[in-house]
Amino acid sequence: MTTTTTNPTLRTAVAGVTGYAGAELARLLLLHPRLRETPPMFLGRMLPEGEGTTIALTSLHPQLSGLPHADDLSVTPFDWEQLQREGVEILFLATPHEQAREWAPQALAHNIRVIDLSAAWRLQHDANRAIYKLTDADPAAAQALQREAVYGSPELHGPAIAAARLVANPGCYATSIILGLAPLLRANLIDLTFGVVADAKSGVSGAGKTPTANTHFMYAADNLSAYAVFGHRHTGEILEQLHLTNAQLQFTPHLLPIPRGILSTIYVRLNQAASLVDIQNCFFDFYVASPMVRVRRSPLLPQIQHVVRTSFCDIGFQLSPDGKKLVIVSCLDNLLKGASSQAIQNMNLMAGWHESEGLI
């Protein structure tokens, strides 16, 4: 297992910079105070020898122009030998799941640590992972690496992330729901015989950059729709990280007619009547050392506009008059705390830096 050291800087590379999350990851890396003298490499598809082409980073993402080094950087074809020549220490995979499943073991074989933004390595249970239909050339080796992979939630697994070779960045819906529930479940305050209901709503960018009929402007605008009821692919993450059974959770995602942001409203019944102070202290104590989680004082509830284009997850709650029913609201930007800025948190921990560097 890799030991943690504090590095003054770091050589990084990003594979898959063309999408929305990839663009945000590029922006955060270019602005990171530790990386001013060592800008990241940006990598495209791995092409046959002799067919390599490059494209200017700012031609893909003009909004990055003017950031440190951005106008001088290009996206080049993926090449393991080049990564080694450049001394890359951490590789971000913002690629499809299948590609990340193939490339992560190869990166580790080249002594390059990996932060994977796809779902390729998030799930430990075969039944939960089946929804992604992943295949492995060497199933035994992949299973061994799967057991080594660390789920990249800094609030839950900070020390393990710091020492990890392979970090599986969490999903956006999963992050909002896990962070809203973890303090209460760890304190054994929820009566799971009544189940947990998570009603979550996301902006259109959560579906990725490839257009579909459901993300088309004429479908999404002036509309609100539920989808993937009883079958959303982030369900397995929530179950595994919170140690819930499928029977104990009802998670229903919805598509909002906005570009970005997630609001999850979570309904639970408590084991016994509690006070506002009890619940407030439960959240405060759990997140006292978590700089990217902001806990609101009841009755204040977070809103998407409070977190959009920030790296925070905001959590609030309201308690019923009898102290037995609790509603938690958890908000984040799906492209940042739900993807790219959480990946930067993980990089910071792996490098031995404070997890909020470059994010506040």
Question: In the predicted model, what is the mean pLDDT of residues 26-33?
Answer: 98
Secondary-structure breakdown of the chain: helix, strand, coil percentages, each rounded to the nearest 5: 40, 20, 40
Q: What are 261-287's pLDDT values in tens digits?
A: 999 999 999 999 999 999 999 999 999
Which helix (H) or strand (E) segment is 76 a member of? strand 74-76
Closest CA to 90 of 352, 305, 359, 296: 352
pLDDT of residue 52: 60
Cα–Cα distance measured from residue 109 to residue 288, given in angstroms and rounded to the nearest whole number? 37
330 pLDDT higher than 70: yes
Other C-beta atoms closer than 10 Å to the C-beta of 221 total 10
pLDDT of residue 75: 96
Closest CA to 4 of 360, 351, 250: 351
Q: What are 283-315's pLDDT values in tens digits?
A: 999 999 999 999 999 999 999 999 999 999 999
- The more confident residue out of 6 and 217 is 217
* Dihedral sign from CA coordinates of 94, 99, 105, 107: negative
Question: In the predicted model, what is the mean pLDDT of residues 33-53?
Answer: 81
Percent of the chain predicted with pLDDT > 90 = 89
User: Would residue 331 show up in a list of annotated catalytic residues for this protein?
Assistant: no
> Among 32-46, 48-62, 153-167, which stretch is predicted with the lowest mean pLDDT?
48-62
Strands across the sheet containing 74-76: 55-56, 74-76, 41-43, 12-15, 90-93, 113-116, 166-168, 150-151
Q: What are 144-194's pLDDT values in tens digits?
A: 999 999 999 999 999 999 999 999 999 999 999 999 999 999 999 999 999
Question: In the predicted model, what is the mean pLDDT of residues 237-250?
Answer: 98
Q: How confident is the model at residue 47 (pLDDT cuts 50, 70, 90)?
A: low
Question: In the predicted model, what is the mean pLDDT of residues 47-59?
Answer: 75
Cα–Cα distance measured from residue 236 to residue 141, given in angstroms and rounded to the nearest whole number? 22
Cα–Cα distance measured from residue 288 to residue 218, given in angstroms and rounded to the nearest whole number? 44
Q: How confident is the model at residue 48 (pLDDT cuts 50, 70, 90)?
A: low
The average confidence (pLDDT) of the chain is: 94
* DSSP one-letter code for 190: B
Catalytic residue among 172, 282, 313, 331: 172
Cα–Cα distance measured from residue 163 to residue 137, given in angstroms and rounded to the nearest whole number? 27
Cα–Cα distance measured from residue 257 to residue 251, given in angstroms and rounded to the nearest whole number? 20
9 pLDDT higher than 90: no
Q: How confident is the model at residue 1 (pLDDT cuts 50, 70, 90)?
A: very low
Question: In the predicted model, what is the mean pLDDT of residues 26-34?
Answer: 98
State the maximum Cα–Cα separation within the chain, in Å, rounded to a whole number. Answer: 71
Strands across the sheet containing 325-332: 225-226, 249-255, 196-202, 262-269, 325-332, 313-319, 293-295
Cα–Cα distance measured from residue 343 to residue 107, given in angstroms and rounded to the nearest whole number? 17
pLDDT of residue 7: 75
Name all domains of the chain by residue range, CATH numbers in brackets: 12-170+339-351 (3.40.50.720), 172-334 (3.30.360.10)
Closest CA to 266 of 163, 195, 337: 195
30 pLDDT higher than 50: yes
Cα–Cα distance measured from residue 22 to residue 107, given in angstroms and rounded to the nearest whole number? 19
Other C-beta atoms closer than 10 Å to the C-beta of 148 total 12
329: Cα separation from own chain's centroid: 18
Tokens of 167: 């970090």
pLDDT of residue 51: 52
256 pLDDT higher than 90: yes
